[in-house]
Amino acid sequence: MRVLAIPATNSRNGLNRQIVGAAAKLLESGELGVEATVDILDLNDFEMPIYSTERQNEGGFPEPAQRFLDRIGSADALIVSFAEHNGSYSVAWKNVFDWASRIDLAVYQGRRMAMFSTAPGPRGGAGVLEHATLVAPFFGGDVVGSLAIPSFADNFDTSSGQLSDPELRTAFAEVVSALGG
Ligand SMILES: Cc1cc2nc3c(=O)[nH]c(=O)nc-3n(C[C@H](O)[C@H](O)[C@H](O)COP(=O)(O)O)c2cc1C
């Protein structure tokens, strides 16, 4: 199984990049009984002007929008971990998603998806995750599980790159292993 993992933020080594890294490590260890390779996408490689219908009508689609869809299309399954900005998506994710959705509304292309969020606070980005999970089917996403990871600093060990709280670790592994079917 080829998995594409996306931190939905433009932080290069932020909290959600670390969550995606932990999921990749877990999958590639073989511990879950799933044979998988994980490719981690960096939204900074998909920088585009802010979406506008006029830009689209006048200039068509920027090349990164199709490239983003192609990366999803060449994966068997997706992991997305959302940063929450003012209760919603980060602008970096929203912009790429908006451009891509005007090429193909089925941005997620029917892929199985594990969705996460994390934040420094006790809700762990639960608001953006709830929204993303709810709307995913409209964009061709097959969400097999989701988990908001609260209070990142208390629950994640940055030196080992793993969740430190045992209950969260179990819940996290369950969501990740659901990608295997
Ligand atoms: C503009 C902005 C708005 C934010 N809004 C929220 C918020 O609504 N809820 C929350 O839990 N954290 C919020 N935060 C804090 C982020 O959760 C924090 O920056 C986190 O590190 C983002 O994830 P990342 O490191 O993966 O980019 C906000 C941060 C910024 C810069």
Structure tokens at 40: 């981690």
**What is the tally of structural domains in the chain?**
1
Ligand 1 centre distance from Cα of residue 107 (Å): 24
CATH number at residue 55: 3.40.50.360
pLDDT of residue 99: 98
Residue 83 Cβ < 6 Å to ligand 1: yes
Which range of residues forms the domain containing residue 133?
Answer: 2-180
Within 10 Å of residue 64's Cβ, how many Cβ atoms? 17
For residue range 83-142, what is the model confidence (pLDDT) as tens digits? 999 999 999 999 999 999 999 999 999 999 999 999 999 999 999 999 999 999 999 999
Model confidence at 26: pLDDT above 90: yes
Most informative mutation of 15, 84, 156 for ligand 1 (most atoms within 8 A of CB)? 84
Taking residues 139-165, report their average pLDDT.
Answer: 98
pTM of the model: 0.98
pLDDT band at 181 (very low <50, low <70, confident <90, very high): confident
Q: 149, 172 in Cβ contact below 8 A? A: yes
Within 10 Å of residue 61's Cβ, how many Cβ atoms? 15
pLDDT band at 28 (very low <50, low <70, confident <90, very high): very high
Ligand 1 centre distance from Cα of residue 119 (Å): 6
Residue 121 Cβ < 6 Å to ligand 1: yes
Query: By alpha-carbon position, which residue is closest to atom 4 of ligand 1?
Result: 85
Residue 49 Cβ < 6 Å to ligand 1: no
Torsion sign over Cα 19, 120, 141, 105: negative
Residue 119 Cβ < 6 Å to ligand 1: yes
pLDDT of residue 22: 98
- For the chain, list the strands marked E by DSSP: 2-8, 37-40, 77-82, 112-118, 142-149, 156-157, 162-163
